[in-house]
A and B are shown apart, each in its own frame.
Chain A
Amino acid sequence: MSIDFCGIALRHPILNGSGTFDAIAARRAFGEALDEEFPFAAFVSKTITLTPRAGNPPPRLWEAQAGLVNSIGLPNKGLEHYMTEDLPELARLPVPLITNVMGSSAEEIAELLHACDTREEIAAVELNVSCPNVRTGLDIGADPAALERVLVEVRPALDKPLIVKLTPNCADVAECALAAEAGGADAVSLINTLRALALAPSANHAASPRPEPHLWLGGGSGGLSGAAVRPVALAQVAAVARRVSIPVIGMGGVSTATHAHDLLAAGASLVAVGTESFRDPRAASRIARELYASDLPG
Chain B
Amino acid sequence: MSTRERSPLGREHPIAPFERRLLSITACERLGAYLVLEAHDPGGHRPAAGQFAMLAAAERWGAGEDDRPYLARAFSYARWHAGVAHFLLEDVGPGTHRLSELRKGDGLWLLGPLGRGFSKPGQGRRALLVGGGVGIAPLAIWQDELSAAGEQATVLLGFRDRSHAEGAALLEDALLASDDGSVGHHGLVTDLLSAELTRNPHATVYGCGPPAMLEAVRSLCATLGVPAQLALEAGMACGFGACFGCVVPARNGYLRVCVDGPVVDAEQLERVSQSTGAPL
Contact = CB atoms under 8 A, between A and B. Distances in A.
Interface of A: 19-22, 24-26, 28-34, 37, 46, 54-55, 57-68, 70, 72, 75, 201, 218, 226-228, 275, 277-282
Top 6 A-B pairs, shortest CB-CB distance: A25-B241, A66-B67, A33-B18, A278-B238, A30-B18, A29-B240
B245 A72 contact: yes
Q: Chain B interface mostly helix, strand, loop or mixed? A: loop
* Most chain B CB atoms below 10 A, which of A20, A21, A70, A278: A278
Nearest to A77: B253
B175 interface: no
Interface string B234-253: 11111111111111110001
B242 to A, nearest CB: 5
Given A25-B240, A25-B259, A68-B70, 15 more contacts: A29-B240, A29-B259, A31-B18, A37-B18, A55-B244, A58-B246, A58-B247, A58-B276, A60-B245, A61-B237, A63-B71, A64-B68, A65-B68, A70-B243, A279-B72
B56 interface: yes
A143 B241 CA distance: 33
Interface size class of B (residues with CB under 8 A): 35 or more
B242 A61 contact: no
Interface stretch (B1-9, B33-41, B131-139): B1-9
Contact of A28 (B236, B243, B245, B259): B259
Interface of B: 1-3, 5, 15-20, 56, 62-63, 66-72, 109, 111, 114, 234-249, 253-254, 256, 258-259, 273, 275-276, 278-280
8 contacts: A22-B242, A25-B242, A31-B2, A32-B2, A54-B254, A58-B246, A58-B276, A278-B242
A279 B276 CA distance: 20
Contacts of A60: 244-247
